[in-house]
Amino acid sequence: MESSLMHVSSYLRLGSWMYLYLKVDIHSRTRTRYRSL
């Protein structure tokens, strides 16, 4: 039980980090595109 709970928490942490990274990456990409226009 505890091991599975730890797995779930680690997966959630990884997912949140990936979501933040993707959001920042898309934001910076769109900003650079607008600047180049």
Task: Provide the token pair at 22.
Answer: 């993707």
Give per-residue pLDDT as tens, 1-37: 678 888 999 999 999 999 999 999 998 888 887 777 6
Predicted local distance difference test score (pLDDT) of residue 16: 96
pTM to 2 decimals?
0.54
Cα dist. 14→3, 28, 34, 35 in Å?
16, 21, 30, 32
Predicted local distance difference test score (pLDDT) of residue 6: 87
Predicted local distance difference test score (pLDDT) of residue 19: 95
Predicted local distance difference test score (pLDDT) of residue 22: 95
Q: Which residue has the tokens 């993707």?
A: 22
Return d(Cα 29, Cα 36) in angstroms, integer.
11
The residue ranges of DSSP E strands in 1-37, in sequence order, are: none
